[in-house]
Amino acid sequence: MPKMRRKADLPTKICATCGRPFAWRKKWAAVWNEVRFCSDRCRAEKPGGTAPRLTDR
């Protein structure tokens, strides 16, 4: 069985929207270089984005 990795040993990035650090996830393995946001919420609220908000109705 392979050795377990600690979360602190994984690569991290800073979210482009909220500025908080976030760690590598297995589902991002193939696209880690392109990941810029920590969550779907931050991606929807990205600066200069045109995501519709529920309060705009």
Over residues 1-55, the pLDDT tens digits come to 777 878 788 899 999 999 999 999 999 999 999 999 999 999 998 776 555 556 6
3-state secondary structure of 40: helix
Q: Give the Cα separation of 29 and 25 in Å (integer).
A: 7
Q: Is 54 a member of any domain?
A: no
Residue 42 lies in a domain: yes
Domain that holds residue 21: 9-48
Evaluate whether residue 2 is within a structural domain. Answer: no
Residue 15 belongs to a domain: yes
pTM more than 0.85: no
Confirm whether 56 is domain-assigned: no
CB count in 10 Å sphere of residue 26: 7
| Cβ 3 vs Cβ 33: under 8 Å | no
Answer whether residue 41 is part of any domain: yes
Please tell me the predicted confidence (pLDDT) of residue 27.
93
In a domain, 31, yes or no: yes
Number of domains in the chain: 1
**Torsion angle of alpha carbons 32, 47, 20, 52, nearest 10°?**
-90
